[in-house]
Structure 1
């Protein structure tokens, strides 16, 4: 998965999350920010969101931000 949109979609599917609001709650982002990740308007996930996702899921912050390394910690 090369893009932020692909990674966000993958995480939402894996976590069985259908609502952008619910995904945003996991990382402290608004529904609007999640939508912009999914549409590619925002090309990268800020570290503050990635580390909060890492804290609340098993996904690695490095993978979330860069698409590199192990997907899960």
Structure 2
């Protein structure tokens, strides 16, 4: 687990958000039912916070069907 400083807080004590690799996210109990979806949405060489993952899932699920 790494930490990423929040962009919204400009104070010297910027809040830090934990970030995880794709493999760590997929192995979380929190996303146990979404492993296949996360394998498609997430990039292997990138780190993600839980908020970023949740937003990606929500954006995908709210997408238009043609």
Q: Give the helix-richer structure, 1 or 2.
A: 1
TM-score normalised by length of structure 2: 0.28
Q: Quick check: which one's strand share is greater? A: 2
Give the number of the structure whose alpha-carbon radius of gyration is greater: 2
Which structure has the higher relative contact order (CA within 8 Å, separation 6+)? 1
